[in-house]
Structure 1
């Protein structure tokens, strides 16, 4: 036994940790013992709360995160002005299923972001149930006219990646009202985008396209339990009625800000690497997973660089984007200003999938850069980071895409994300401190490697 232990010790001496392994280990150990992300998230969630674009809370979040970035001793911290939409929910929504006059069951609903209000006294009509937009289009107009369209297509539970399941049915939430108007409907109810059966309606962005305001109809999400109840009741009696009342409205655009901080590169300061999340959230919960977690993880990346003494070769910039949820104005403004100034962005990483256990990254990049990333995979495997895939990165960094830079998205475990997404239960107590911090260290490790080795540039063609 002693001989075996001696051989193991000799093996470790023969294969000392590489400099990359040491730096990555320092990130993980530092964040788990000295990290600030959980404290920042606690303040954002519990002292400020939901941060809908244009709200007082959104502006409080801008001021708070700027002050925290200032405290890190970065080379520069600033606010980038951006005009954002201001939609307000108004008084709480109310709804019920009426099986016969005077016999009702109250059900949980919430207005979709961007929806118009119902008439002041609410809206009551018969219901037509469909499993999606394509099924609606196949119905004769007289079967829909004057009714409330009930989109009841659920997320596919057989897909392991729940974001794929979400993508498969979110069109009915986003475009369902515009399609229903063309069929003469008077309102829209959409099954919440979650795999869980519960009583939380999940809001989210919707669009009327180019419809004039006077032709728009109110749209609301209904909880999954209530959607099942409504569907069952309709099968028993197709003549039942549904009533809902909401008082939301769209106001004029207001000025807000992207919050930006950077550490200037020592060798290639003109090459910019961006890491970020979106500071705005929906108003039902406090936006802890979507996307307070991504914001504080991104701030933590720069914090870890400072605390571990790593001096980046390239300029590392954290950007907390405003208005991802209902407009993407912050991401577009950032890319627009970067192009105006002729900035050279070479890499961007976004965290916008919740503060759950990190599993890896998705990459939008050239084959050569993807192969370089795969060569780093063994450095992450001791931390159980094993999924390096091609795919999307993040909505806010998408406008930066130029065909040459590397875009990446942190990919945590997805199984619980849509339990909370855009709902009242997206709150601080549902974020695990250790999982949040592991995600931040994982991001810092990727940024470190991209900074140290740079992106793989295409060979110059000799003319």
Structure 2
């Protein structure tokens, strides 16, 4: 009996050692391929500089769909197909005008502005009214109809600079952008100005999506730069009141047909079970959508390409998905999850890159305790590549709907300090991307796919 137990123990130790050596070797090969022969940077250059920004419903979004389809076909994915999805078609129209009028301190001056996505326009007549500044919805509610009716509400709560992870700071401020217009309209406001969701002070306005409450009037909503938000607040402190003229020409057109783009390599054992890696193909209509989220798209394609180039034969089918319409509707992510449910396609894991193309630090996860512990245990293979932040809660907006069917969600977690300098702005351009950082992110995602596929969850 003792001899039997000794033999069994020796076998288990040897098996564990073989698995560790195998994983170390494979992940080293993944990083070697990404850093020596990577194609993500060149793909991103084409997507951002040749196609450009890609708002849902735009000709550029349609061009991006076709280009990513061709790209995955040329890379030899087993199957590449388009998944139809109806998306919103919002257009900005003529350039916004936001003007401070007749300030005794600053005179009349133009403010740096961008209409918020999905906003209605003021039309050529514009809106001229006094502004009232609030930091949050509690202050808005205290002012009530008496303090707000007929005025432009100015939401001026900054992102909290004390928070180290800037996405937490963003989460603490973004509700004024998403809900502010409807909350102000309920008290009779004629428009809203929103301080840009930015972690620094500059003259660059940040757009982003709002959501109208169907039970409230729809009023124009515009973001202004952080410097101009500080200026307006200063005017109110010094002068007691301020008046602004606002003019926008945006409108929501009828929904339009677009597509998720899906490239797949088939599994060898559990080919009807899927591991998904993706980013969102659409971007806002300013800048080039390089960090948000061109980088995530090319990293997803590259992560699968790397495994294919290494002749890795996955147990499960692996998909790279370019989701459409994350920015102002999330239609692509919802449609993908709905189709997976309808077709009875179980997804064991989904990985999303939508936090910029900066140096990867780790992965977030939405799963149970055992699955989180499993991810943390893989630190022995991931830590040598700078991936130490493993197990924080999170995932991604596009893959979020898959959670209802039990899919474990992962989000690539890059260094976040510079992301909100560029997020949703004209500054989000290809020249802000570092080639090596981008390639490291693709390698990290490829390594995680490999571990999920080979080690299981």
- Which interval holds the TM-score relative to the shorter structure? over 0.9
CA contact (8 A) 1:155 1:166 kept: yes
Which residue of the partner structure matches residue 91 of structure 2? 88
CA distance in 1 between partners of 2:18 and 2:63 (Å): 50
Which residue of the partner structure matches residue 266 of structure 2? 264
1:115–1:16 distance in 2 versus 1, CA, 3 Å: closer
Question: Does residue 291 of the first structure (1) align with residue 293 of the second (2)?
Answer: yes
Question: Does residue 76 of the first structure (1) align with residue 79 of the second (2)?
Answer: yes
CA contact (8 A) 2:351 2:399 kept: yes
CA distance in 1 between partners of 2:423 and 2:138 (Å): 25
The correspondence for 2:429, drawn from 419, 427, 443, is 427
Which residue of the partner structure matches residue 210 of structure 1? 214
The correspondence for 1:413, drawn from 394, 415, 422, is 415
Which residue of the partner structure matches residue 7 of structure 1? none
Q: How far does residue 238 in structure 1 lie from its aligned partner after superposition?
A: 2.5
- List gaps (5 residues or longer) in structure 2: 1-16
CA distance in 1 between partners of 2:291 and 2:62 (Å): 19
1:9-51: CA deviations, max 9, x gaps?
A: xxxxx99971111111111111111111111110110001110
CA distance in 1 between partners of 2:320 and 2:232 (Å): 45
Q: How far does residue 381 in structure 1 lie from its aligned partner after superposition?
A: 1.1
- List gaps (5 residues or longer) in structure 1: 1-13, 456-463
Q: TM-score normalised to the size of structure 2?
A: 0.94
Q: Give the secondary-structure state (helix, strand or coil) at the position aligned to 2:425.
A: coil
Question: Does residue 353 of the first structure (1) align with residue 355 of the second (2)?
Answer: yes
Q: Give the secondary-structure state (helix, strand or coil) at the position aligned to 1:260.
A: strand
Q: Give the secondary-structure state (helix, strand or coil) at the position aligned to 1:401.
A: helix
Question: Does residue 197 of the first structure (1) align with residue 201 of the second (2)?
Answer: yes
Q: Give the secondary-structure state (helix, strand or coil) at the position aligned to 1:63.
A: helix
CA contact (8 A) 1:363 1:389 kept: yes
CA contact (8 A) 1:155 1:195 kept: yes
1:189-211: CA deviations, max 9, x gaps?
A: 00000111111110000011114
CA distance in 2 between partners of 1:416 and 1:390 (Å): 20
1:338-393: CA deviations, max 9, x gaps?
A: 11110111111000000000000001111111111111101111111100023110
Which residue of the partner structure matches residue 64 of structure 1? 67
Which residue of the partner structure matches residue 341 of structure 1? 343
Q: TM-score normalised to the size of structure 1?
A: 0.93
Q: How far does residue 100 in structure 1 lie from its aligned partner after superposition?
A: 4.5
Which residue of the partner structure matches residue 23 of structure 1? 26
The correspondence for 1:225, drawn from 202, 224, 227, is 227
CA contact (8 A) 1:366 1:404 kept: no
CA distance in 2 between partners of 1:384 and 1:15 (Å): 24
Q: Give the secondary-structure state (helix, strand or coil) at the position aligned to 1:139.
A: helix
Which residue of the partner structure matches residue 156 of structure 2? 152
Q: Give the secondary-structure state (helix, strand or coil) at the position aligned to 2:272.
A: strand
Number of paired residues?
440
The correspondence for 1:109, drawn from 99, 113, 119, is 113
RMSD: 1.6
